[in-house]
Amino acid sequence: MIANLIALAFLMPTTEMDISYSKAAGDDIKMDVHMPAGDAKNNPGVVLIHGGAWVSGNKKELDGMATNLASQGFVVANINYRLAPKSKWPAQLDDCQAAVRYFRANAKKYNVDPKRIGAAGFSAGGHLAMFLGTVEATGKDLENAKMSSKVKVVLNYFGPSDLTRDFPKFIADSVSKQLTGKPYDPKDPDVVSFSPYYKIDKNSAPMFIFQGLADPLVNPNQSRIVEAKYKELGLPVEAHYLEGVGHEVPMAKAGVKEAVEKSVAFLKAYLDK
């Protein structure tokens, strides 16, 4: 029995907790790195981004997914990022980009292949993951500035893509005031710059989309327009729209487990290309 427990322990992923990856604006911003069992080098990597409407949430919410991905051979950076209203946009994106650069800068330490890093996010995290697949950070004073902040593939779980449409005014106004400090105006350049839909171009990373058709917070059209733009540009995209599913990933509901499994397969396939 003891021998079996010891053997099992060696097969379990290991985790390094509360690693400081950025000190932007004096804040100590942290991630947990979940690593597969064994000593394999150059594993594929994933930056995992929690939701919470950009104003709440933390990395602990995705511990289960991080452990699951690590058990399948991924090195997972499960991150925190600065939240509104204390930190205004684009602080949230700046932090996610800093996390990718830190991950690459420390690739040897964590046995991750710096050329095979993707991003996965839920809700607000999906929104931020889309940015990581479309936009490269620029600037001389970036932490780990020599490293790219762009990822190779994106898993977008019901992330908002275009804040200029599809949202009830009271929701859009609340988001705008929290993140920009200004009332909502769909023509405001800050609202447009906050919408990853407008950043998609022929160089954007392949994307998997998970979207519930009963989502009360993110209109499914937010995913459909991204899918359509990807197809228009001839980019790899796989979208799954699930009947009766809201703003959630209810694994017991029909089709959900299969869609999640397909998302991981998509991640593996495009990180290996």
For 233-253, how does the pLDDT look when each residue is reduced to its tens digit (9 = 90+)? 999 999 999 999 999 999 999
Q: How many CB atoms lie within 10 A of CB 100?
A: 26
> Do 119 and 47 meet the contact criterion of CB atoms below 8 Å apart?
yes
Nearest Cα neighbor of 106 from 117, 95, 121, 96 is 117
Distance between start and end Cα atoms, the chain: 42
Residue type at 58?
Answer: N
The answer to whether 175 and 163 are in contact (CB under 8 A) is yes
Structure tokens at 155: 């898993």
Distance CA 176, CA 87 (A): 13
- Quote the tokens at residue 126: 């999906």
* 68 pLDDT above the threshold of 80: yes
Model confidence pLDDT, tens digit, residues 31-44: 999 999 988 899 99
**Does residue 90 have a cis bond before it (omega within 30 degrees)?**
yes
Domains and CATH numbers, the chain: 22-271 (3.40.50.1820)
Question: Is 225 a residue whose pLDDT tops 50?
Answer: yes
What is the per-residue pLDDT for 84?
97
Residue 11 above 70 pLDDT?
A: no
* Predicted local confidence at residue 3, as pLDDT: 44
Q: What is the pTM of this model?
A: 0.95
How far is the CA of 66 from the CAs of 14, 144, 197, in angstroms? 11, 24, 27
Instruction: Kindly state the average pLDDT of the residues 81-102.
Output: 97
Give the pLDDT of residue 224.
98
User: Can you say how many angstroms the Cα of residue 101 is from the centroid of all Cα atoms in its chain?
Assistant: 14
At 115, the pLDDT band (50, 70, 90 cuts) reads very high
